[in-house]
Chain A
């Protein structure tokens, strides 16, 4: 099977995030593992891209490398005209805080802060607007996500789905240029997962750029484009035109067919 390395851009706007020649390896228990073997990827502004691939193919590592959480061994990552790979840890942190949002598989709210406090956390850190402004923004997002009534609860006092929705509110709080998702529905039951997907699709329709790592074909079927990773490389990609309120069965089939074709 030929490995196709594609540099493509099928989104609606100019390139927002672009990676060139990303390489990264780990040494774990004395074993050297090359996790990213020269990845090139471009995400256009407003685009919804999902990354699929078998376990250990380097999907999550790609996500952490693109967002600057994990340093890479070689290659460059640019967010608009800023080269992230050239920034120091503090500037990277500033960039993540101001321009990126994150949704993880496990709820990653701080256990000692209430839901509302978690959501306004980084805005408070930078004193964006007044306290009232911040609460108003959070209220708008939390109402939309259906968790405003839970704002005073601690993370341990709400369900997994509610936590994930609060997590999305937190990711959106600062109107980031891009949201990174690492299996955002992975830990949820079907109903909760659907609600989260609806929320993400809705956001994308409003212009938010999304890059989501997933195993779930129903998530992939809602994206503009699916990138397939195998052994640390981008093996193929599939441009879709779904973005409906629910996953189009035809698109789901198309994704499955392509996966079968790649042996995933």
Chain B
């Protein structure tokens, strides 16, 4: 290309951008969003790994941890540690497990137990050498007597504040402590760790142990720091071979690293997923813009070719146009990511502390943004292959690629509609049918938009549906009462007797849960919480098999089945707990049970079991009562009546129970659903505006002709509304079908961790298939009308004369 040619080409570029600034702005916006999210995801990964490593270093996290409940021979462990070359230091830490509903926090505007966290809670004292609990400044905490330090997890979850009062109530009295602050726990920080540690002074731990008495349980953390972290596998084998205490889970350094990074990692994964989606949309937009631009510039291209401009020069002309836009977008995105990082990294900084990796995360952001620009460049080059097909002769003669005689199919489809729809509607539909390839891009985007709009909605509907209780390891019932083992359980029996005499009650049943142990797939004992009672009274939904009917049968929750490596038809052996709380001595015979069914359960960390046989375990945990009322009974009134008669029991409707247990999840899903609605609508509006502007520019000649012939602006706009509405309808249909077909599986993938792997989404048909599409349609129609006003922009004579 000679210099003057280059000058002409750059002027063409500038003019093209000036002619259609909306497209340029939208492209910059999408690339900016993609670059911002990609950079932030990168920063998140870098920061999370950095912060997690630095926290674990400060806290001197153990390399090997063995949990153990029951009696313990500390001297034997000490002897092993001394004898083993791999051991640097070791410690045996005592934890006092207290039921979360027995821990209450009160203060200005706050009155809550720790139950909503669905965690196991233990009181501990500060360790001397390692496994240190740190405050938010990274300093080792030395709790003053009468105070307690709570995990940051609870501060965020329950909105707690320093200075509030924590009360632990047990059979032997209550202990009051003041919340002195919040701690970072390098082992159990994450919400994915199912236990939390609460730090108190040694004297307070003694008071607590006395107060909770039998209701509390002592658990031990047997921890080691090794001379070589890499040898943790070898050390584990040696520990096992020594036959030391090990009836709880074993956790190694690698798992701590994983758990600490998980929360940030999942956020990063979601951000990356959204980024990929945005890049895909950006690429689709670029392709669409390019195709329409090439079509519009057909004559120009033909003329340039005719005067001897090479394909390569033309490709460079178009590629540069988009590369400049993409580069601008990438820079804007990088700047934006700095602001976004503040939000995304807030949690990481809070839970894990500073990472000290600003420069690497910035460099990664730059690299990822450059990658996006490169992807844009490649996509543009690929699409530009079409330049070769432009014939200078055809281009100069007609200014457009040869339009062939109309296809039969659309003609027939439209003639089937008859005269009724009117010419503008027919013209609009006809255009969509004639050029499916052109409309494929907005179709895909609308389908994605509808998908991300409908899926979270369906998830929310599912979780709030009455049937959701079946995913919580329970049958559908009107009333539910939960009580801890002990005095409250006896009151449940009283209530059950009252219900038996109430003619308004159709059915009722009491279930008791007790703890057993069974060997997991690694041969390590695992706790199994088995609920026993008349399972036929309030039947569960089984994803596999059926309910146990005989004393020799058991049903397992999905995660429990995974832990034990059991499937329907397998036999599992569960050992009743004999010692400990109940004080019964001597081993009890194990129960050999056949697995008859597997169900989904999100309660108790997803690990539960059901049987009809009476309990042999001495470790009774809690009692649950279900009741159904006769038809026509005013259920809320009756429940309120019983709640008044039994003020000491938590008598509630199942709805309340689900809300109380799943409240956090429901709120999160509602937020996600609203955010998805906003994002879906914004993307749809943006794409429509872009698409319409491109179409209007492309169709300027035809629009001018129609207006000259006496088409009102409304007639012209109707055609465009019909086009976008038709494409949107198809897109929503695809999106809705996608949400229905793939939604359950996709949700299952994300939720399998909490015990829901086979979630069957329940859609509210009005919301998902009427209200949402209508809102989407309204937004798209408004966007179409706003961006397809021909009269305000184009004088008829200009558009016709321009051609």
Residues of A within 8 A of B (CB): 60-61, 64, 67, 69-70, 89-90, 93-98, 100, 102, 104, 106, 108-114, 121-122, 124-125, 127, 131, 152-157, 170
Q: Are A110 and B706 neighbours in the complex by a CB distance under 8 Å?
A: yes
**Assembly CA distance A108 to B711 (angstroms):** 14
- Give residues of chain B (756-803) contacting chain A, Cβ–Cβ below 8 Å: 791, 795-797, 800-801, 803
Chain A residues whose C-beta falls within 8 Å of the C-beta of B791 in the assembled complex: 89
**Assembly CA distance A111 to B399 (angstroms):** 10
- Would you give the 0/1 interface string for B680-716, flagging 1 where the beta carbon is closer than 8 Å to chain A? 0000000000000000000001101111111111110
**Nearest-CB residue, chain A, relative to B796:** A69
- Give residues of chain B (351-398) contacting chain A, Cβ–Cβ below 8 Å: 398
Beyond A111-B400, A112-B434, A113-B406, list 4 extra A-B contacts (CB 8 Å): A89-B713, A93-B707, A112-B403, A127-B422
- Would you give the 0/1 interface string for B407-426, flagging 1 where the beta carbon is closer than 8 Å to chain A? 00000000000010011101
**Assembly CA distance A240 to B797 (angstroms):** 30
A259 to chain B, nearest CB (A): 24
The reply to whether the CB of B404 lies closer than 8 angstroms to some CB of chain A is: yes
Q: Are A154 and B711 neighbours in the complex by a CB distance under 8 Å?
A: no
The reply to whether the CB of B437 lies closer than 8 angstroms to some CB of chain A is: no
- Would you give the 0/1 interface string for B302-318, flagging 1 where the beta carbon is closer than 8 Å to chain A? 00000000000000000
Q: Are B711 and A152 neighbours in the complex by a CB distance under 8 Å?
A: no
- Would you give the 0/1 interface string for B76-120, flagging 1 where the beta carbon is closer than 8 Å to chain A? 000000000000000000000000000000000000000000000
Q: Are B709 and A121 neighbours in the complex by a CB distance under 8 Å?
A: yes
**Nearest-CB residue, chain B, relative to A100:** B710
Q: Are B711 and A125 neighbours in the complex by a CB distance under 8 Å?
A: yes
Q: Are B400 and A97 neighbours in the complex by a CB distance under 8 Å?
A: no
Q: Are B404 and A94 neighbours in the complex by a CB distance under 8 Å?
A: no
Chain A residues whose C-beta falls within 8 Å of the C-beta of B803 in the assembled complex: 106, 108
Q: Are B713 and A157 neighbours in the complex by a CB distance under 8 Å?
A: no
- A-B contact number at CB 8 A: 97
**Nearest-CB residue, chain B, relative to A63:** B797
**Nearest-CB residue, chain A, relative to B424:** A125
B709 partner, pick from A102, A112, A153, beta carbons under 8 A: A102
**Nearest-CB residue, chain B, relative to A98:** B710
**Nearest-CB residue, chain B, relative to A124:** B423
The reply to whether the CB of B402 lies closer than 8 angstroms to some CB of chain A is: yes
A156 partner, pick from B402, B419, B423, B704, beta carbons under 8 A: B402
Chain A residues whose C-beta falls within 8 Å of the C-beta of B712 in the assembled complex: 89-90, 93-94
The reply to whether the CB of B405 lies closer than 8 angstroms to some CB of chain A is: yes
B715 partner, pick from A61, A69, A125, A127, beta carbons under 8 A: A125
A171 to chain B, nearest CB (A): 9
Pairs A-B, 8 closest by C-beta atoms: A97-B710, A96-B710, A125-B423, A64-B797, A69-B796, A93-B712, A154-B403, A108-B705
Q: Are B714 and A112 neighbours in the complex by a CB distance under 8 Å?
A: no
Chain B residues whose C-beta falls within 8 Å of the C-beta of A100 in the assembled complex: 710
A22 to chain B, nearest CB (A): 15
B710 partner, pick from A93, A114, A124, A155, beta carbons under 8 A: A93
Chain A residues whose C-beta falls within 8 Å of the C-beta of B705 in the assembled complex: 108-110
Q: Are A156 and B710 neighbours in the complex by a CB distance under 8 Å?
A: no
Secondary structure type dominating chain B contacts: helix
B410 to chain A, nearest CB (A): 11
The reply to whether the CB of B467 lies closer than 8 angstroms to some CB of chain A is: no
A101 to chain B, nearest CB (A): 9
**Chain A CB within 10 A, most for which of B423, B431, B434, B708:** B708
Q: Knowing A70-B795, A70-B797 touch, does A157 contact B710 (C-beta < 8 A)?
A: no
- 19 A-B residue pairings within 8 Å (CB atoms): A69-B707, A69-B796, A69-B797, A70-B796, A89-B712, A90-B714, A93-B715, A96-B710, A97-B709, A108-B704, A111-B400, A125-B424, A125-B715, A127-B422, A153-B405, A154-B403, A154-B405, A155-B403, A157-B405
Q: Are B711 and A93 neighbours in the complex by a CB distance under 8 Å?
A: yes
Chain B residues whose C-beta falls within 8 Å of the C-beta of A122 in the assembled complex: 709-711
A84 to chain B, nearest CB (A): 12
**Nearest-CB residue, chain A, relative to B423:** A125
Q: Knowing A69-B796, A104-B800 touch, does A97 contact B711 (C-beta < 8 A)?
A: yes
A96 to chain B, nearest CB (A): 4
Chain B residues whose C-beta falls within 8 Å of the C-beta of A152 in the assembled complex: 405
Chain A residues whose C-beta falls within 8 Å of the C-beta of B434 in the assembled complex: 112
**Nearest-CB residue, chain B, relative to A67:** B708
Chain A residues whose C-beta falls within 8 Å of the C-beta of B714 in the assembled complex: 90
Q: Knowing A70-B797, A110-B702, A114-B405 touch, does A94 contact B419 (C-beta < 8 A)?
A: no
**Assembly CA distance A46 to B613 (angstroms):** 106
**Assembly CA distance A112 to B710 (angstroms):** 18
**Assembly CA distance A102 to B434 (angstroms):** 27
Chain B residues whose C-beta falls within 8 Å of the C-beta of A96 in the assembled complex: 708-710
Q: Knowing A69-B708, A90-B714, A97-B709 touch, does A112 contact B405 (C-beta < 8 A)?
A: no
- Give residues of chain B (127-178) contacting chain A, Cβ–Cβ below 8 Å: none
A180 to chain B, nearest CB (A): 9
**Assembly CA distance A93 to B405 (angstroms):** 29
B708 partner, pick from A95, A102, A124, beta carbons under 8 A: A102
**Chain B CB within 10 A, most for which of A89, A124, A156:** A156
**Nearest-CB residue, chain B, relative to A131:** B419
**Nearest-CB residue, chain B, relative to A88:** B712
**Assembly CA distance A43 to B276 (angstroms):** 65
Q: Are B709 and A114 neighbours in the complex by a CB distance under 8 Å?
A: no
**Assembly CA distance A127 to B405 (angstroms):** 24
Q: Are B797 and A60 neighbours in the complex by a CB distance under 8 Å?
A: yes
